Structure 1
Amino acid sequence: MTDPRFVIQHHLATADHYDVRFEIDGVLVSWAVPKGPSTDPRIRRLAKRTGDHALDYAGYEGVLGPRRGGGTVQVWDHGTFRNISEHDGRPVPAGEALAAGHLSVDVDGEKITGGYSLIRTRGENMWLLVKRRGRGADARRDPVATHPESVLTGRTLDEIAAQG
């Protein structure tokens, strides 16, 4: 069995944000992260839980019509992940961790790697995305600013928008 996929799509719509998606229980479970992921464990990023998406959306890059949320979508990063969620030292399935409000994963992407946690803060939709210490943690690195291109095509958001 292969590890499940994750994708981070830069989405320039009404508000500029990054959609962070993990393949869990047959869908892409999704959060909108306004500032994108950080590699600095001291930084907590707001992550708003959004609707689940079909698995085939993981490779979508292009311009969405207004019925589908509008705006330009770029595959900013992708790869696989392992669920590392646990409770009292025992592994917790990703779906259960999600329902409990604390999902921890180890990602192997092209731009980001290592451990990340998503922690629900208030209500069902408000979460924090936090980089865990260890592999891939680097307070000096800012991949959102230094690597704006698509991992699929090498295009920027402006180039995707211009080419449709």
Structure 2
Amino acid sequence: MSERLRDYHGKRDFGRTREPEGRQAPRGAAPRFVVQIHDASTMHFDFRLQVGDVLKSWSIPKGPSDVPKDKRLAVPTEDHPLEYEEFEGVIPEGEYGGGTVIVWDRGTYEPLSHDRQGRPVDFAESLERGHATFRLHGTKLRGQYALTRFRADNWLLVKTAEGRAARGHGTPDPRRARSVRTGRTLAQVAAEEN
């Protein structure tokens, strides 16, 4: 077990939840990302970026936007295991994060962070410093984004215009959104697993 997953393991009873425990090694050359819709005590999107052997995670109440310059609050949560990229299902009531989860988008990302002289900066280091830029190559989300820390430990997720007048569609209605893994909605996952 990665030391970085201590908080994740401390919040879950794996005898009750089907969430992955975290035993998978990193795979492939390009780092992965996943966006999950989570219908828990409050509906939100979970945005996760692979950094080394874990998924760094943020809860985004309004969901990520593909509209350049839309600013979305991103609240850090505990690191998750790499296998969480595939997790879709119902977390039992009474468990941490109890509710239904679907995989709304996933793919790879390309780190783009540079220092003031234009030299590449290690992605984990750029996050530690509080500002990271990256290009998403997902099924739904594509293009350059930035995560910037502000006020204590809150972050903003923003899609950049990348030098052109891109027009996005905003964020989908989470209750009507479909999983990129299975095509199911939150309601369908909940009905099939309860």
For Structure 1 versus Structure 2, the TM-score category normalised by the shorter chain is over 0.9
Q: Deviations over 1:100-149 (max 9, x none)?
A: 0001110100001011100001112x000000113997445135249710
Give, in whole Å, the separation in 1 of the partners of 2:100 and 2:140.
20
1:42: which partner in 2? 69
Change over 3 Å in CA distance of 1:161–1:68 after alignment to 2:
same
2:55: which partner in 1? 28
1:114–1:137 Cα contact (<8 Å) kept: no
Give, in whole Å, the separation in 1 of the partners of 2:84 and 2:74.
19
1:112–1:136 Cα contact (<8 Å) kept: no
Question: If each structure's strand is expressed as a fraction of its own residues, which one has the higher value?
Answer: 1
Aligned with 1:97 (options 126, 150, 169) = 126
2:49–2:57 Cα contact (<8 Å) kept: yes
Please tell me whether Structure 1 or Structure 2 has the larger radius of gyration of its CA atoms.
Answer: 2
1:161: which partner in 2? 190
1:7–1:79 Cα contact (<8 Å) kept: yes
1:79: which partner in 2? 107
Deviates more, 1:145-154 or 1:64-73: 145-154
* TM-score normalised according to structure 1 size: 0.93
Give, in whole Å, the separation in 2 of the partners of 1:74 and 1:62.
7
Amino acid at match of 2:115: H
1:151: which partner in 2? 180
1:45–1:130 Cα contact (<8 Å) kept: yes
Aligned with 1:110 (options 139, 143, 159) = 139
1:3: which partner in 2? 30
Unaligned 5+ runs, structure 1: none
2:97: which partner in 1? 69
Q: Deviations over 1:41-94 (max 9, x none)?
A: 121000001100011111000000232310100000000001101111111111
2:148: which partner in 1? 119
Q: What is the root-mean-square deviation in Å for CA atoms of aligned residues?
A: 1.9
Post-superposition offset of 1:40:
1.2
Give, in whole Å, the separation in 1 of the partners of 2:29 and 2:82.
15
Identity of aligned residues (%): 44
1:19–1:32 Cα contact (<8 Å) kept: yes
- After TM superposition, which residue ranges in structure 1, 4 or more long, deviate above 3 angstroms? 135-140
Post-superposition offset of 1:9:
0.4
Change over 3 Å in CA distance of 1:93–1:73 after alignment to 2:
same
2:157: which partner in 1? 129
Change over 3 Å in CA distance of 1:86–1:75 after alignment to 2:
same
Aligned pairs, number: 163
Q: Deviations over 1:4-29 (max 9, x none)?
A: 10000000101110000000021000
Change over 3 Å in CA distance of 1:31–1:51 after alignment to 2:
same
